[in-house]
Structure 1
Amino acid sequence: MQESIQKHCDNIQKLSDRLEQLGGVPDTVVHNNEWLYMLQEETRHSLSIEGYFATEQELKLILSGKKTGPEILNYFRIAQSMYDLGLQYHQEQDLRLDLATIRHIHSELFRELTQDRGQFRQGRITILGARVKPPEFDVEEHVRAFVQVTRHLLEQEPLLLALARSHALFESIHPFRDGNGRTGRIILNYLAVSKGLPPLIIKGTEQEARDTYYHALESADVGFHDGFPVPSKQSILQALDLGNWEPLVELFAQALTPQLHTLLALAVEAKEPLMPLSDLSGLLDVKVSTLRKWVERDQLVTLKRNGKHFSHPLLVMSTSAPKHAPDRLDE
């Protein structure tokens, strides 16, 4: 594995492990304000990738029923439902993924929009601007192989890399006539939440961000540029090995890190107050300038409020940090 990929995977795993130590993803995700904001932002950016643009204010109007926007409303509702389900599976240390789940996601995305919702395509499809060549026949069998491969990846590979490979595979298969991007990103985040992570917010409101995402996918799906292998786990894994995974893994790390930082800070704050860096500096006997460098290097997790950073000894991620902090919060 490339050193840069390993570094991103290790960093995300370290944050995820610390979140689990502090209680994990909140179990009230449907009513948690910070989680709700993440879900709204994920909805807004994911739909922007598909060309459905909405400002934060417009999104709130659509979700409150004061403005029409069925594509956006459908996405938010099924994402909210699936991520909550993913959290329940995580609490049970379980993970469920099958064709019915995938069809259900697509069906809800296109509720009241089309009659063939939830139905896999028949025949050839071309992805505009992409080099990948999705399978023309046996689409359902390729989706079954996707499920099998995804389970294997999540068991055998670092979580961040497994999510990247699974997502690129789904988008390469492109099993529906429309809505593959939206369906794929909801599956991606459902899997992430099922494994104890918050949803990835892949930026999409700006053209540069969308291009970065598309180019990362194109680097990853090289093994499908000249045609699609037979729908078997081994042949698909071999094709995935041909991809360059560094751009997509890096993008996913950037899409996850802010949400993990927020949940970590809130998990600590639920039991003890956060403090400004000036107070943390005195407690740890470290200069404020050093703490700011830690923040820049993701070695210190902070919550930014009114332009100021707040943190806690338990949010120090740097291995070189002084050992002034307790290993855990008092129960």
Structure 2
Amino acid sequence: MIENIREYIEESNKIEGVHEEQAVENSLAAWQYLQGKERLTHEVIRQAHLRIMERRQPDIAGEYRDCRVYVGGHVPPEPEQVKQLMTELLGAANRPETPVDALRWHVRFEKIHPFADGNGRVGRMLYWWHCRQIGVTPILFRAMDREGYYGLFRGGDASAD
């Protein structure tokens, strides 16, 4: 469904201000890993994060956050809530039926913000995975439309659909 995964990855990284070739290679490794997965689990998501972040921030790679984070004007849930919220989110992870379901799941993931860093890159990749599961081409979120992309996350809370 994604003809040029490198373009998706490069644009995804640019949204976060990440431009190094090594970051692209790390994300390609994460995408390859996800290709063999039929279901998302805590371990699958943490392994994707590990592959994306292991050379950039090895101390947090593959681990749910244990600290508070602030994302623009949004304050994600307390670190103690992350595992439970992710468990709830995973309940909906393996049954998307429409592109809107995939996008809603992505928004919920980003609002939980389960990692200390790398959430956007991992979350967009999981959105692509969902789109692949239902046989549709995902939206290519471009860095030049960063504000439109971030607009998806305004309002609601991490548990809302």
CA 1:213–1:140: 2 relative to 1, 3 Å:
same
> Could you say which residue in structure 1 is the equivalent of 2:9?
43
Paired residues of 1:150 and 1:162 also in contact (CA < 8 A): no
> Could you say which residue in structure 2 is the equivalent of 1:72?
24
Q: Which runs of 5+ in 1 are unaligned?
A: 1-24, 26-33, 54-67, 87-94, 229-235, 241-331
* Inter-partner Cα distance in structure 1 for 2:117 and 2:156: 23
Q: TM-score of the superposition, structure 1-length normalised?
A: 0.45
* Inter-partner Cα distance in structure 1 for 2:152 and 2:111: 13
How many residues in Structure 1 have an aligned counterpart in Structure 2? 159
| Correspondence list, 1:178-257, <5 A | 178-204=117-143, 206=144, 209-218=145-154, 222-224=155-157, 236=159, 239-240=160-161
SS at match of 2:151: helix
Map Cα deviations across residues 182-204 of structure 1 (whole Å, 9 max, x no partner): 01011111111122223432111
Q: Does 1:118 align with 2:57?
A: no
* TM superposition outliers: structure 1 runs of 4+ over 4 Å: none
1:112 Cα offset (Å): 2.5
Q: Which runs of 5+ in 2 are unaligned?
A: none
1:167 Cα offset (Å): 0.5
Paired residues of 1:134 and 1:173 also in contact (CA < 8 A): yes
> Could you say which residue in structure 1 is the equivalent of 2:83?
140
Paired residues of 2:30 and 2:51 also in contact (CA < 8 A): yes
* Inter-partner Cα distance in structure 2 for 1:107 and 1:223: 29
Paired residues of 2:99 and 2:136 also in contact (CA < 8 A): no
Paired residues of 2:41 and 2:90 also in contact (CA < 8 A): yes
* Inter-partner Cα distance in structure 1 for 2:88 and 2:75: 17
The residue type paired with residue 216 of structure 1 is L
> Could you say which residue in structure 2 is the equivalent of 1:166?
105
CA 1:182–1:43: 2 relative to 1, 3 Å:
same
Paired residues of 1:39 and 1:80 also in contact (CA < 8 A): no
User: 2:36 pairs with 73, 81, 85, which one?
Assistant: 85
* Inter-partner Cα distance in structure 1 for 2:47 and 2:110: 17
Map Cα deviations across residues 253-278 of structure 1 (whole Å, 9 max, x no partner): xxxxxxxxxxxxxxxxxxxxxxxxxx
* Inter-partner Cα distance in structure 2 for 1:200 and 1:77: 21
* Inter-partner Cα distance in structure 1 for 2:28 and 2:70: 27
CA 1:185–1:163: 2 relative to 1, 3 Å:
same
The residue type paired with residue 83 of structure 2 is E
> Could you say which residue in structure 2 is the equivalent of 1:306?
none
* Inter-partner Cα distance in structure 1 for 2:117 and 2:55: 15
The residue type paired with residue 76 of structure 2 is P
Paired residues of 2:64 and 2:83 also in contact (CA < 8 A): yes
Q: From the CA coordinates, give the structure whose radius of gyration is larger.
A: 1
Percent identity at matched positions? Answer: 26
| Correspondence list, 1:261-272, <5 A | none
* Inter-partner Cα distance in structure 1 for 2:61 and 2:43: 12
| Correspondence list, 1:277-316, <5 A | none
The higher relative CO (CA closer than 8 Å, separation ≥ 6) is in 2
